[in-house]
Amino acid sequence: MYFAFIALARLFERSVRSAVYEPAFQLLYQPVPPGQRIIFQNQIEGIPKAIGTIITGLVILLFSSLEFFNLVYYNWFFILVLALWIWVAIRMYETYRNLLKSKLNELKSEKETANSSITEIIREKLRHAGKANFEQTFRICETAQPIITEEMLEEIFEEASGEIKQAILEKMTERQMVNAAGFLKRLDLQEQPVQFHSLINDTVEYLEFAANTPIEEIATLCKSSGQADRLKAARLLGASGRYNTIRLLHNLTKDADPEVKRAVIIASGKIRRYELWAFICEHLAYDAYAETATTAVKQIGEPILPELERVFEKSGGHAIVQIRILKIYEALASQKSLKLLREKMGYPDKDVRRQVLVSLSNRKYQATASETPLLKEMIEETVAYILWILATLQDLNTCDEALDLKMALLTEEDDQKEFLFLMLSLMYDEKTIHHIREHIESKDANAKVYALEIGDMIIGDEIKEIFFPIFEDLPVQERLNRFMFRFPQQKLEPIARLCEILNKPYTRASRYSKACTLRILETQQKDKEQTTERMLAANVVHPDQLLSEMAAWTLHRYNPGYYLNLISRLKKSGFSESEAITEKVREREEETALLKFEKTGLMRSTELFATVPETAIIDFLERTPQSRFIKETADSTVQLSADSDLEYLPADNGFLIALPKSALYEFMMSSPELAEKLFSIIQINNSN
């Protein structure tokens, strides 16, 4: 009993003193300017600390002087006070945690707005399109989302202006949108302008007539030599539920015209017949039709999942097809598709596995206890990769000609940090992790402290010890020293580090970073061992054309004799690409062609692609071999046609880039950010 009284006294003494002396209280709870905190802290230590000790002593003296309080009462009173103290401590912890979250919300930029979905963007752009740009806006939206765009025409019709109403009715007729007849018939004509009554009735009459087109007539259109007839047939079949529809669509699947084939794919998705599912899914492997096939698959929905899974299993080694299928699983938003995504969390291919995690994160999925160890392992791999990038930047610090490579590595570092937070969002509350990501690298010291406090409260100790040092405001070398035992990094000479970059697997050094590395080798001093020549020669035979042609061109400029000898040996050995490499180097020397690396730089110099990562630009160029890079000179001008299927983008050094509109629109409409940028630039160009 006596010792309970002593414990009670110590509890009072510690609690009161800590309340005024705790650094967290002094530095975080005081609403005073940072420059005056030291003054207030000195006053707190000099006065409140002493007062707290005196008050504690007086309270203890008071209790000890009460005659009716014996040791038994002290013991019960101590238990009650201890329980109350624990309850208050827990409540204070929760309040402090909520305070940190609210502070982070307050620190968010007022300019920050929620990202719109592609569907919302299509709705808004069509709704606000004027007569001058409606046709272009419709074409862009239709290229990306043909089915949604057709539905949006019905949604915006009643609030549209008279000119846009007329344009919508014309589109319904032109696109054979027979399902729109029901919508038009439900319209109250009394609420529509008088001049549109006959036009609406005529459109309904045409669409109903088209819907009842005899199957024999559609079959004749399918066999027509005219592209417009076959296109009309495909669109009519998409709204037909008749028996011969499948047979006629199957015949059109062999059509050589790209626009007709896209219409056939969309029609196959609309009728949802399983006989055509294999045809739709196989076109996910073709860049020209992948987006259209994706739209058709989404139209069918969950029933097509078994066919998609079969294609996924057959596409081993073709990661791009598998990634497209994973994005479809994400978009379908069903429990079955979620289950299929979860089953692939441990997939061997790292690109595929990363897309699985991205899709799960976008679905707001929270990992189970059995899935957490895999995520922890991937977090360790990501941290190790970030540290390797930091070590590489440190070794190349004095290499002035490596600016492009350094920028590429910094981009990779940012990308890996985003991936790190993505994995954390699968393990912990997604919104809280988002708060941390927004402010952990903030220039505002208070914002960063709040972010670190939240991270310290929710992230497990095992992850914290490798997570927080990555974001500390320390010199690179000091951060590397923090991990010297767990993730040791070598200190290499620049040439050795460049060699290591080239030898890294592409999952640990991007194609673009390696291309930058090959370009730098031209500036290296020659040595007796011919280290640079051997590094370049090894990459001349690389299966990646980006690296192969860059290595050949660099070697040709660095040591022409070595290059010619290498090409001679490759031809004798029967290397199939030797002629193509020789021709590419010759064209580049004559300035009649550009390397893919140079094309990427020119694309990045355009306003439209200025924020697009180089790796994404390279992928886009590989999907659009018909893209042209035209050098404008004083003696030659480029004739631009408004009706052309090409979009012309001005680039640096007097170049004009001609890109196929369909491919460009599909690419830019692949994300809300790029879509908004595309429409903004088009609006500026139209106003000029």
585-627 pLDDT per residue, tens: 999 999 999 999 999 999 999 999 999 999 999 999 999 999 9
- Contact at 8 Å (CB) between 614 and 600? yes
Q: Give the pLDDT score at 48.
A: 60
Q: Give the pLDDT score at 560.
A: 94
Convert the pLDDT of each residue in 196-213 to its tens digit: 899 999 999 999 999 999
Calculate ∠ Cα 281-285-287, nearest 5°. 120
Q: Which two tokens stand for residue 300?
A: 């069918």
Q: Which two tokens stand for residue 88?
A: 């208050």
Q: Cα–Cα distance between 511 and 517 in angstroms, integer? A: 10
Q: Give the pLDDT score at 528.
A: 79
Nearest to 238 by CA among 230, 228, 249, 223: 249
Q: Give the pLDDT score at 627.
A: 93
The confidence band for 103, taking pLDDT boundaries of 50, 70 and 90, is low
Calculate ∠ Cα 140-143-145, nearest 5°. 100
- Contact at 8 Å (CB) between 341 and 312? no
pLDDT reading at 645 higher than 90? no
- pLDDT > 70 in the chain, percent: 84
Instruction: Return the higher-pLDDT residue of 672 and 50.
Output: 672
pTM of the model: 0.82
Q: Cα–Cα distance between 29 and 21 in angstroms, integer? A: 12
Contacts of 319 (CB under 8 A, 6+ apart): 349, 351, 352
- Contact at 8 Å (CB) between 612 and 562? no
Q: Is the dihedral of CA 483, 487, 490, 494 positive or negative?
A: negative
Q: Give the pLDDT score at 28.
A: 44
Lowest mean pLDDT among 30-44, 67-81, 341-355, 644-658: 30-44
Number of H helices, E strands in the chain: 37, 3
Contacts of 683 (CB under 8 A, 6+ apart): 133
Average pLDDT (323-332) is 95
Q: Give the pLDDT score at 74.
A: 64
- Say whether 628 sits in a helix, a strand or coil: strand
Question: Which residues is 486 bridged to in the sheet?
Answer: none
Instruction: Return the higher-pLDDT residue of 381 and 458.
Output: 381
Q: Which two tokens stand for residue 87?
A: 């309850």
In CATH, the architecture of 494-589 is Alpha Horseshoe (1.25)
The mean of the pLDDT values for the chain is 86
- Contact at 8 Å (CB) between 147 and 121? no
Convert the pLDDT of each residue in 538-556 to its tens digit: 999 999 999 999 999 999 9
The confidence band for 99, taking pLDDT boundaries of 50, 70 and 90, is confident
pLDDT reading at 114 higher than 50? no
Tell me which long-range contacts 278-283 makes (C-beta under 8 A, separation of at least 24).
278/307, 279/250, 279/253, 280/304, 281/307, 281/308, 281/310, 281/311, 282/311
DSSP 638: P
DSSP 633: B
Q: Which two tokens stand for residue 247?
A: 């047979």
Q: Cα–Cα distance between 214 and 222 in angstroms, integer? A: 13
Nearest to 498 by CA among 405, 390, 579: 405
pLDDT reading at 638 higher than 60? no
Calculate ∠ Cα 676-678-679, nearest 5°. 65
Q: Cα–Cα distance between 249 and 247 in angstroms, integer? A: 6
Q: Give the pLDDT score at 429.
A: 87
Question: Which residues is 659 bridged to in the sheet?
Answer: 647
Please report which residue ranges of 108-179 form alpha helices under DSSP H: 118-127, 134-144, 146-157, 162-174
- Say whether 390 sits in a helix, a strand or coil: helix
DSSP 523: G
Angle between helices 350-362 and 403-427 (to 10 degrees): 50
Contacts of 7 (CB under 8 A, 6+ apart): 78
pLDDT reading at 68 higher than 80? no
pLDDT reading at 109 higher than 50? no
Q: Cα–Cα distance between 268 and 272 in angstroms, integer? A: 6
Q: Cα–Cα distance between 628 and 623 in angstroms, integer? A: 13
Name the helix (H) or strand (E) containing 17: helix 2-21
Nearest to 620 by CA among 631, 609, 630, 610: 609
Q: Which two tokens stand for residue 17?
A: 């003193």
Q: Strands of 146-249 (E only): list them.
A: none
Q: Which two tokens stand for residue 286?
A: 């073709």
DSSP string, 582-612: HHHHHHHHTTSS--HHHHHHHHHTSSTTTTS
At position 432, the amino acid (one-letter code) is T
Place of tokens 């009670």: 8
3-state DSSP: the chain helix, strand, coil percent, rounded to 5?
70, 0, 25
The confidence band for 442, taking pLDDT boundaries of 50, 70 and 90, is confident
Q: Cα–Cα distance between 377 and 289 in angstroms, integer? A: 37
Q: Give the pLDDT score at 66.
A: 65
Q: Cα–Cα distance between 218 and 38 in angstroms, integer? A: 86
- Contact at 8 Å (CB) between 676 and 621? no
Q: Which two tokens stand for residue 138?
A: 């419709």
Burial letters for 2-25: b for 16+ Cβ neighbours within 10 Å, e otherwise?
Answer: eebbeebbeebbeebbeebeeeee
Ordered by start, the domain boundaries in the chain are 2-106, 119-211, 372-482, 494-589, 611-687
Q: Cα–Cα distance between 9 and 354 in angstroms, integer? A: 57
Lowest mean pLDDT among 72-86, 349-363, 473-487, 556-570: 72-86
Provide Rg for the chain, Cα atoms.
33
Beta-strand relationship, 628-631 and 655-660:
antiparallel
